[in-house]
C-alpha cells in the first residue's frame, strides 16, 4: 500500500515537471503565474471597493447635503412630494415663513412680509436667503415616526422640520423701521457667539409676491436692485469708520496713543488738500481725541507716516480682501487696494476712508464685534438650530471656530477710542446710563457732489454680560451722527432694554 502511494506521488511529480517543461517549450503560462495574476486583479478590485466605500462615507458625511441641496437635483422635488416645506422662525419663536395647503397646492407664506425679505429670502424664481441656505433641512421631516407612517399610508405629506434662526424679532423690526424710506443696511451681531441678531436691507420687496412681480424685481442694474442684500453684498466707501483701521495700523507700526496731532482745519501735501468735516479746526489733540473728533487732518497725517504696505497689512489682518468667517453664502469681500506711498493724495484719502476702499456693512459689524470681544471673531451665522414640528431638537450647529484679527491690547486701545466717541465725540447721543456704548461714525462721500454722502455708524454696546455689535449705513442721508447714530441707539435700546 505504502509503496503504491509513493509511486503515485513520484508519478505526479514527474507529471508536473513534464508540464513545466511543456510550458517552457510552448510558451504557455504556468498555473503559478496565473495565480499571481489572479491575486493582483483581486487586490486591485478590493482596493477599488475600499476606495468606493471610503468615498461613499465621505460623500454621505460631508457632501450629500450640498449635492442634494443643488437646485437642479431631482431628489429635492421628490422630497417636496412627501414633505410640507418647514417653517422658518426667529430665535424668539416668531414664524417668518410657512407653507399653507390651499386645495391641492402648497403656498409659501411670509407673515412678516418685507421686514425679513433679504435675510429669510424667498422660494420661487430661484431661491435666496435662509430659504436657499437651508432648503435641504426644510424639506426633511423628523415628525413622530408613527405620524409619518400614517401619513405615508394615507398618501399625505408630513410636516417638514423648522429652521430656527438667530434673529431677534424686536430688533429686526426696530432696524427695519429705523432705516425708514432710506436705502441702506443695518446688521447686528452677538460678539460672543457670532450669531446674527438682525439684518435689514433696503430697498426691499414683498417675498409673498416675488413670483408675480419677478419681472420688475429682477430688472435694473445691480446697485439699485431691490433683491441685493446690501448688508452682505453692498460695497460702500467706509468714510470715517475706516479710521478704526488707520488708528490700529498707526499703533501697530510704532505710533502711540499719547502722540499729538495739530489740526488747523486743513492739510496739504504734494498739492493735494484735505479738510476737516464742516470746516472745523480741532487744534492740538492726542490720538483718542482725534478719533473722537473724527479729525481728517490727524488721520491723514497718521496715514502719511506709515511705510509702504503697512496700512494694507493691517487692513488684511482685519479681513479686507479676504472671506469673512461665516456660514452665510454670497457674502462679498471688502476691498483695499492701496499698495504704495508715492501717491500722497491717495494715501491721505485712503487713511480717512475715501480713496478706493469698499466695505460691506457685515464686515464693519465684524470689526466692531472683534473690538468688543478682545480681538476675536466668531463664525458669523444666522441659524440657531433645526427642530421637528413638535419642537424637539433635530440638529444643532457647532460654531465654536474663531479667528483673532487684532491682539487683546489692540482691541482694548480701540475700545478706549470708540468709547471716547460716545462720551466726547460724534456719537454723544449714545452716552446713556442704561448701557455702555462704543463706536465710530462716518460720513462717506460717494460722488463729486460733496453734499451726497452715506451716513455710517459702526460700534457695540453692552449691559452686564449682554453685548451687541452693529453696523448701520443709510445711503445719501448725510452725516453719520445725525442719522445712523440714532438708529444704532434705538437698536441698542431694543436689545439691551430701555
Ligand atoms: Zn481736524
Separation of CA 472 and ligand 1 centre (Å): 24
Separation of CA 296 and ligand 1 centre (Å): 5
Separation of CA 289 and ligand 1 centre (Å): 10
pLDDT at site 1: 47
- In this predicted structure, the answer to whether residue 287 has a pLDDT above a threshold of 70 is yes
pLDDT at site 23: 46
Residue 476 gets the label, from left (phi > 0), alpha (psi -120 to 50) or beta, of left
- In this predicted structure, the answer to whether residue 19 has a pLDDT above a threshold of 50 is no
Q: What is the pLDDT of residues 376-388, one digit of tens each?
A: 999 999 999 999 9
Separation of CA 343 and ligand 1 centre (Å): 22
At residue 232 the predicted structure's pLDDT band, cuts being 50, 70 and 90, is very high
pLDDT at site 103: 83
Helical (H) or strand (E) element with 267: strand 266-269
d(CA 311, CA 394): 46
Separation of CA 66 and ligand 1 centre (Å): 52
Separation of CA 297 and ligand 1 centre (Å): 5
Please report, for residues 261, 267, 276, 293, 423, the alpha-carbon distance to residue 284 in angstroms, rounded to integers and kept in the order given.
6, 14, 14, 11, 19
Residue 307 gets the label, from left (phi > 0), alpha (psi -120 to 50) or beta, of beta
Separation of CA 367 and ligand 1 centre (Å): 24
Separation of CA 416 and ligand 1 centre (Å): 19
Q: Which tops the pLDDT comparison, 308 or 398?
A: 308
Lowest mean pLDDT among 8-17, 113-122, 159-168: 8-17
Separation of CA 267 and ligand 1 centre (Å): 9
Separation of CA 257 and ligand 1 centre (Å): 17
pTM of the model as a whole: 0.84
pLDDT at site 225: 84
Separation of CA 314 and ligand 1 centre (Å): 23
Beta strands at 158-159 and 83-84: parallel, antiparallel or unpaired: parallel
The CATH number of 175-204+227-382+400-496 is 3.40.710.10
Separation of CA 285 and ligand 1 centre (Å): 9
Taking a 5 Å cut-off on Cβ, the residues next to ion ligand 1 are: 263, 276, 282, 295, 297
State the residue for C-alpha cell 493582483. 40
Q: What is the pLDDT of residues 150-208, one digit of tens each?
A: 998 988 899 999 999 999 999 999 999 999 999 999 999 999 999 999 999 999 999 99
pLDDT at site 69: 58
Separation of CA 492 and ligand 1 centre (Å): 29
Separation of CA 423 and ligand 1 centre (Å): 18
Q: What is the pLDDT of residues 68-83, one digit of tens each?
A: 555 556 666 677 788 9
Domain positions in the chain are 175-204+227-382+400-496
Amino acid at each position: 500500500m505504502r509503496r503504491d502511494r509513493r509511486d503515485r506521488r513520484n508519478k505526479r511529480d514527474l507529471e508536473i515537471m513534464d508540464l513545466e517543461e511543456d510550458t517552457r517549450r510552448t510558451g504557455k503560462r504556468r498555473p503559478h503565474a496565473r495565480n499571481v495574476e489572479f491575486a493582483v486583479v483581486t487586490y486591485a478590485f478590493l482596493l477599488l471597493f475600499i476606495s468606493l466605500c471610503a468615498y461613499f462615507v465621505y460623500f454621505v458625511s460631508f457632501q450629500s447635503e450640498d449635492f442634494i441641496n443643488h437646485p437642479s437635483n431631482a431628489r429635492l422635488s421628490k422630497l417636496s412630494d412627501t414633505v410640507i416645506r418647514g417653517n422658518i422662525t426667529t430665535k424668539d419663536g416668531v414664524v417668518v415663513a410657512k407653507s399653507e395647503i390651499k386645495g391641492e397646492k402648497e403656498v409659501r407664506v411670509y407673515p412678516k412680509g418685507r421686514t425679513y425679505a433679504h435675510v429669510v429670502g424667498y422660494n420661487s424664481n430661484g431661491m435666496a436667503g435662509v430659504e436657499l441656505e437651508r432648503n435641504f433641512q426644510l424639506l426633511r421631516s423628523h415628525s413622530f415616526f408613527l405620524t409619518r407612517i400614517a401619513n405615508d399610508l394615507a398618501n399625505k405629506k408630513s410636516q417638514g422640520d423648522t429652521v430656527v434662526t438667530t434673529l431677534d424679532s424686536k430688533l429686526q423690526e426696530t432696524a427695519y423701521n429705523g432705516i425708514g424710506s432710506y436705502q441702506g443696511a443695518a446688521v447686528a451681531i452677538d460678539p460672543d457667539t457670532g450669531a446674527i441678531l438682525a439684518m435689514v436691507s433696503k430697498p426691499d420687496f414683498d417675498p409673498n409676491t416675488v413670483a408675480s412681480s419677478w419681472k420688475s424685481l429682477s430688472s435694473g442694474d445691480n446697485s439699485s436692485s431691490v433683491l441685493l442684500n446690501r448688508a452682505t453684498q453692498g460695497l460702500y466707501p467706509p468714510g470715517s469708520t475706516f479710521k478704526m483701521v488707520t488708528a490700529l495700523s498707526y499703533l501697530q507700526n510704532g505710533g502711540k496713543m499719547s502722540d499729538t496731532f495739530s489740526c488747523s482745519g486743513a492739510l496739504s501735501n504734494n498739492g493735494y488738500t484735505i479738510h476737516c468735516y464742516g470746516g472745523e479746526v480741532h487744534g492740538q489733540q492726542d490720538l483718542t481725541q482725534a478719533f473722537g473728533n473724527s479729525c481728517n487732518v490727524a488721520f491723514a497725517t497718521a496715514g502719511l507716516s506709515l511705510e509702504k504696505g503697512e496700512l494694507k497689512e493691517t487692513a488684511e489682518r482685519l479681513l479686507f480682501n479676504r472671506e469673512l468667517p461665516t456660514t452665510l453664502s454670497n457674502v462679498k469681500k471688502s476691498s483695499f487696494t492701496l499698495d504704495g506711498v508715492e501717491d500722497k493724495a491717495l494715501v491721505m484719502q485712503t487713511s480717512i476712508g475715501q480713496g478706493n476702499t469698499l466695505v460691506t456693512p457685515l464686515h464693519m459689524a465684524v470689526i466692531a464685534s472683534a473690538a468688543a470681544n478682545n480681538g476675536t471673531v466668531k463664525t458669523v451665522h444666522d441659524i440657531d438650530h433645526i427642530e421637528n414640528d413638535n419642537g424637539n431638537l433635530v440638529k444643532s450647529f457647532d460654531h465654536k471656530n474663531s479667528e483673532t484679527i487684532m491682539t487683546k491690547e489692540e482691541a482694548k486701545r480701540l475700545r478706549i477710542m470708540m468709547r471716547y466717541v460716545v462720551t466726547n465725540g460724534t456719537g454723544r447721543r449714545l452716552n446713556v446710563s442704561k448701557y455702555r456704548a462704543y463706536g465710530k461714525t462716518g460720513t462717506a462721500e460717494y460722488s463729486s457732489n460733496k453734499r451726497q454722502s452715506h451716513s455710517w455708524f459702526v460700534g457695540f454696546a453692552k449691559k452686564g454680560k449682554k453685548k451687541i455689535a452693529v453696523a448701520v449705513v443709510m445711503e445719501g442721508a448725510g452725516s453719520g451722527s445725525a442719522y445712523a447714530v440714532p438708529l444704532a441707539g434705538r437698536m441698542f435700546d431694543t436689545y439691551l432694554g430701555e
